[in-house]
Structure 1
Amino acid sequence: MKPSGKIAQVKTQSNHPDSFITIKTKNTMKTTIKISALALAFAAFSFGAKAQSTTASTTTNSGVRLSVGVDAGIPVGSFNDTHSWTLGGSVQADLPVAKQLFVTVNAGYDNYFGKSISNTSLNYTDIKLIPVKAGLKYFLVENLYVQGEAGASFLTNKKDLGATKSTLFAYAPQVGVLFPVGGKSFIDAGIRFEGNSALVDNGKSLNLIGLRLAYAFGL
């Protein structure tokens, strides 16, 4: 059967787009290397944070902080069978409520790139999401924080995927480092686990390990 240009999730006993089967061509080592690269990048920024002389406090409730960043990630679990990586961008506002504690509001756009299976004509359709989340960011020390967010991801190509849902529940615990680059400006580097609910009832979740690298500035 020749697949159409749709998600082609290899439907078994169901016409649901994300009734995933285990594709044996999954390269576990390749995935491990990619995740390790993200972890090493995060470690490098952590080291850089220690080396910087603080020009502005990251933890005081002196005002709103905005950040604009690039988001990238690697799907994990059964989602990795069909999609290889993600790329997008986001804008976030950190609103101070107490020393070391901020309320966060985050919105962005993410593209989950579908895989092409070797030696077949099988191509998985990209998944395009607009995530909107809110949560809390708490600084354990001056530059190191933990963050948790929850919200919704809006599917923009529902018809192409044959999905039954256009809004997915999303959540994202994160750990990160904020270090000064001058004045009220900072580089914000964070690594997170992000989960999105399934495209259909009783389907598989869309989970990933992600990295956000952003330029942040105080107002």
Structure 2
Amino acid sequence: MKSKIGIVTVLLVSFAFASKAQTSTPAGSTTSSTDKEWRLSVGPEFGIPSGNFAHNYGWLFGGSVQLDIPVFVPGLYVTANAGYDNLIAKKDVANINVQTIPVKAGFKYFVFSDLVYVQAMAGVHFLANKSDLNADKAAAFTYTPGVGVLLKLAPKNYLDLGVRWEETAGFYNGGEGSGGNSYGQVTLRVAYSFGL
């Protein structure tokens, strides 16, 4: 499963760079002013766990703050993201919600003007309720490939809609389900973004 996700991520990023390489800037024109615009976004996140984790947990609710910083290539941004996630245990299972504080960094690349983007991030999920869960570890590695759209609402005001796959290493040393070695989730982020 991890190799499939890696292949999809590589293909998305390759497509993004290939499509950007096919476009050219007419002589005398300049890049968009938004290519140099720092953006800060904040918004809720909703997710569904997958694999063995889905047997014990129904859905995820959280929120995040993200900073997008433009770099040398037009349409390419370095991203820094931090938030709070609450993975809700199913009522018919004797489990406790998993509460994490994800901290991630990565890249966002616009493949179509300043509208459609691909994004890849990696970082750490810090377990906020380690003692409640009797977990072995307080932090776990995570990576997230994703896609999204940035809809302009007004000058320097945007709606950022993104969908991502997120894979997180386990907080336990072995076992299955809530004690598994890793868990995945599909997450939707709906954020208000503004230029700085």
Instruction: Settle same-fold status: TM greater than 0.5.
Output: yes
Aligned position for 2:90: 115
More strand per residue: 2
Cα offset, 1:144, TM superposition: 0.3
Q: Does 1:201 align with 2:173?
A: yes
Aligned position for 2:46: 72
Encode CA deviations 1:165-189: one digit per residue, 9 max, x unaligned: 0001011111000010011100000
In 1, Cα distance between the equivalents of 2:120 and 2:33?
Answer: 17
Aligned equivalent of 1:126, options 94, 97, 115: 97
Amino acid across the alignment from 2:130: K
Aligned-CA RMSD value: 1.5
- Secondary structure of 2:35's partner? coil
Amino acid across the alignment from 2:168: N
Higher relative contact order (CA 8 A, sep 6+): 1
Aligned position for 1:95: 69
Cα offset, 1:69, TM superposition: 1.0
CA contact (8 A) 1:60 1:99 kept: no
Q: Select the structure of larger CA radius of gyration.
A: 1
Aligned position for 1:181: 153
Identical aligned pairs, as a percentage? Answer: 46
TM-score by length of 2: 0.78
User: What residue ranges of structure 2 are gaps of 5+ in the alignment?
Assistant: 1-30, 175-179
Cα offset, 1:61, TM superposition: 2.6
Cα offset, 1:116, TM superposition: 2.0
Amino acid across the alignment from 1:205: S
User: What residue ranges of structure 1 are gaps of 5+ in the alignment?
Assistant: 1-56
TM-score by length of 1: 0.70
CA contact (8 A) 1:116 1:123 kept: yes
- Secondary structure of 2:120's partner? strand
Q: Does 1:166 align with 2:145?
A: no
Matches within 5 A, 1:25-44: none
Aligned position for 2:58: 84
Cα offset, 1:59, TM superposition: 8.2
- Secondary structure of 1:165's partner? coil
Q: Does 1:218 align with 2:192?
A: no
Cα offset, 1:63, TM superposition: 2.2
Matched residues, number: 159
Cα offset, 1:205, TM superposition: 1.1
Aligned position for 1:9: none
